[in-house]
Amino acid sequence: MTAFLPVCILYTEAGLSATTTKAVVDDVNNESTADFTVTVDGDPDDPDPDPGSGKLVLKSVPTFRAGNLSISKIYNGFNTGLEQADDLIVADNRVKEADWNLDLNMGTFTEDEGTNTLTGATLAFTAKHGVIGQNNVSLSDGGSGTVLSNNAAHHGDFTLAITDPTLSMNANVSASIAEDSHYAATLDWTLSSGSPVAEEL
């Protein structure tokens, strides 16, 4: 119960004075509530509800680019820094559950036009978050590894910082390389949890 203190202004012969009166408090019923109900379907009053409400969603994943590499580097092997486009964002707005794992699998570098492949590649970077922690990731083509795990029971949108991404490759001395050829490897990001199962990107 909210108590208001009314102020009475009294005129007396001595001049103007002010007195206060106490509000009557019902000792039997002196509590009140302010409440709301949580729904996993987004805001019912919003015509465009958040599609990630009540879900575990992988909202965005990064793409890495090494730029132009000389043919000699392909033949002899290399280690180079990568440019990153797009952020790595996980949104966990589920009811109760808060644990999840983010894993990554890297395919083999394959030429856009044709079937030529380059093997022996390793992608490395550090993934970190101020609350969840950090992990040094290093995986080879055809391999997989854990990017980050949330075991701290935190919810919300998490932008996971990717720092110092590098790509290294062993020597491919027998590779048949065409000028201006472009190679790419698929990065398969998998977000998983005990319950409920995460949505696919």
Which residue type sits at 169?
A: M
In this prediction, residue 194 has a pLDDT band, given cuts at 50, 70 and 90, of: confident
Task: Give the rounded percent of residues in the chain with a pLDDT score beyond 90.
Answer: 33
Instruction: Dump pLDDT digits (tens) for 164-182.
Output: 999 999 999 998 888 888 9
Q: Topology of 56-192 in CATH?
A: Immunoglobulin-like (2.60.40)
pLDDT of residue 52: 60
Q: Look at the block and give the residue holding tokens 């794992």.
A: 101
Which residue type sits at 80?
A: T
Average pLDDT score over residue span 20-32: 49
Longest distance between any two alpha carbons in the chain, whole Å:
112
- Give me the residue spans of the domains in the chain: 56-192
Instruction: Dump pLDDT digits (tens) for 126-166.
Output: 999 998 889 999 999 999 999 999 886 788 888 999 999 99
Q: Is the pLDDT confidence value at 27 over 70?
A: no
In this prediction, residue 124 has a pLDDT band, given cuts at 50, 70 and 90, of: very high
Least-confidence region, from 19-33, 56-70, 149-163: 19-33
